[in-house]
Amino acid sequence: MKKMLSLILALALVFSLAAASASAADSPKKMKIAFCTWAGYAPLFIAKENGYFADQGYDVEIVIIEDESTYGAAFVSNSIQALGQVLDRDIIQFDAGAPEQYVCTMDASTGGDGLIATEEIKTMDDLKGKTVALDKSATSYFFFLQALADSSITEDQINIVEMGNDEAGEAFLAGRVDAAVTWEPALSNCSDREGGHILVSSAEYPKAIIDVLTVSSTFADKNPEVYDVLYTAWCQAVDYLNANFEEGCAIMAAGLDLETEEVMEECAGITFFDDAMNQEFNDLNTEDNVYDIALMAANFWVEKGYMKSTELSGFFPTLNFQANAA
């Protein structure tokens, strides 16, 4: 009897351990994705709401972090495992040692960012001797200098006042500066200041401001399927948004804590990258591909002293460098 009881208990323990093991295997993997309040990243809310992550065995939490200076540290501390952010900021963090790798391109600003100016400033040349508000540590500076390169004046002929994009727009509307590099809603509201207008926008420089989705290489080493998980969910979300624009914007607005109309207005200046666009943009044989744009940005930031190296192959683990070299 004792032997029989021992056998029953042993079998019960085996079955219990097997059940626990199966339950653990079936448990979704947890991942935290961060980005700031910008509609370009918000299709990720659609991906979560519609179960695109859950369908692939992932339990995703989305967090809004407005302070971009904390992103690199968040990757290092494993506080986040994925991030939506502008490409040139990502490569600066990568150069500084953040375990960050490219997954796909999310969007391009095609009118959502720009330079607003007073009535008498009608061309970039008219900025000579004027005061311009912009953020030198952000992509707005990269965009501004691309536009300035098409003029006949140089940066040292302009009085640049450094401040964030939101603050720059507010300073312009308050009449404290002659021009400002900013984004929505200041772009649409620039005429609130008499004579205020958009001098140049990202629509004229469509690859100056590219947002990408990145993942922690530390997390990906343990979960190599995560590249496909993130890419698939992103493309599904963009397809849904394209087919159900108002409903998609409503989901995005709820996630961003904005009104649906605000998000729809922002989307007017955004081009979202679907699977076909990513396939083309990730092809190293395509002119102005994602690596070309990143390298251009890296050269710019190395020159400005924000990066030490232009070596970016480690940032792009999914691009086929070998095939391109052959």
Domains 28-109+208-325 and 113-201 share a fold: yes
The class that CATH gives domain 113-201 is alpha beta
For range 271-279, the mean pLDDT: 97
Top-level class of domain 28-109+208-325? alpha beta
55, pLDDT greater than 90: yes
Please provide the size of the chain in residues.
326
Give me the percent of the chain exceeding a pLDDT of 90: 74
pLDDT surpasses 70 at 1: no
What are 250-267's pLDDT values in tens digits? 999 999 999 999 999 999
Q: SS3 string of the chain?
A: CHHHHHHHHHHHHHHHHHHHHHHHHHCCEEEEEEECCCCCCCHHHHHHHCCCCHHHCEEEEEEECCCHHHHHHHHHCCCCCEEEEEHHHHHHHHHCCCCEEEEEEEEEECCCEEEEECCCCCCHHHHCCCEEEECCCCHHHHHHHHHHCCCCCCHHHCEEEECCHHHHHHHHHCCCCCEEEEECCHHHHHHHCCCCEEEEECCCCCCCCEEEEEEEHHHHHHCCCHHHHHHHHHHHHHHHHHHCHHHHHHHHHHHHCCCHHHHHHHHCCEEECCHHHHHHHCCCCCCCCHHHHHHHHHHHHHHCCCCCCCCCHHHCCCCCHHHHHC
pLDDT digits (tens, 9 = 90+) for 65-93: 988 778 989 999 999 999 999 999 999 99
pLDDT band at residue 138 using 50, 70 and 90 as cut-offs: confident
**Residue ranges covered by each domain of the chain:** 28-109+208-325, 113-201
- Going by pLDDT thresholds of 50, 70 and 90, the confidence category of residue 14 is very low
pTM of the prediction?
0.84
